[in-house]
Amino acid sequence: MLICPICSEALHQLDNGVQCPQGHRFDRARQGYLNLLPVQHKKSRDPGDNAAMVEARRRFLDAGHYAPLARRLAELAAERSPSRWLDIGCGEGYYTARLAEALPAADGYALDISREAVKRACRRAPQLTWLVASMARIPLADASCDLLASVFSPLDWQEASRLLAPGGGLLRMGPTREHLLELRGRLYDEVRDYDDEKHLALIPPGMQLAHSETLCYPLQLDSAEARADLLAMTPHGWRANAERRAKVIEESFEVRVAIRYDWIVKL
């Protein structure tokens, strides 16, 4: 299942890590994850979300604000009954843990390029195989997965196609143009619109959209900590000016949560 990120040969389990026939060895961290991100594949010293962003997201999600989103994601995954699945861009593992609960008999994998995120994520579901790895060079074998989950994450479509077995599919969860519209309106003079279906044009040959649905609900942000954490876990935390960010944190308000789920199958 796992392949070497350097030579692409199969990785075999050792006492405290994995190794390929070429002798490339990767030790398991004390938290339980494997770091399969070689230094030559990094674009910075410590890529991905930093500890502050990861902790903000952990607090916000553990407070239950997005619990309906995680519940529906898990339901959709369970309907597909995969035998092996991968969460691409798992972050600090909130959604991954819900997937693991919904798929107890399946072989589960999760990866993120952020070591800080994976260090925290693997505590949520130790039974999974947790990886620090590049989403552009996923260290899993061709056609090895029945289900891929991509939650609020960039996606390499060619990698997704390579990883999926025929009949398997990608479960993508992402924002619609209505998502957090009130927050964006408070932060910017002009709120840019975008096409909810823009990503569908990127689907490679051999894959097609089989199902799509949207989940929407109002979310009252009464806590200053919740408002600060929501800002910190999104690009708005550094895109908007400091004065407007401070004002958002000071005042209670309601936002719309509006998320689209797509099930895209490999033919």
The model's pLDDT over 10-37, given as tens digits with 9 standing for 90+, comes to 999 988 899 999 999 999 999 999 999 9
CATH of the domain at 73: 3.40.50.150
Q: Is 151 helix (H, G, I), strand (E, B) or coil?
A: strand
Number of neighbours of residue 26 by Cβ within 10 angstroms: 23
Amino acid at 211: H
In a domain, 51, yes or no: yes
In a domain, 7, yes or no: no
pLDDT range class, residue 48, cuts 50, 70, 90: low
Can you tell me the mean pLDDT for 124-136? 95
Confidence at residue 53, expressed as pLDDT on a 0 to 100 scale? 86
Tell me the residue range of the domain where 118 lies.
12-266
How many domains, the chain?
1
In a 13 Å sphere around the CA of 223, the CA atoms on its Cβ side amount to 11
DSSP H or E run through 91: none
Residue 158 has pLDDT above 90, yes or no: yes
Residue 44 has pLDDT above 90, yes or no: no
In a domain, 5, yes or no: no
Computed on alpha carbons and rounded to an integer, the radius of gyration of the chain in Å comes to 19
In a domain, 175, yes or no: yes
In a domain, 190, yes or no: yes
In a domain, 4, yes or no: no
Cβ distance 193 to 21 under 8 Å?
no
In a domain, 224, yes or no: yes
In a domain, 6, yes or no: no
pTM of the model: 0.94
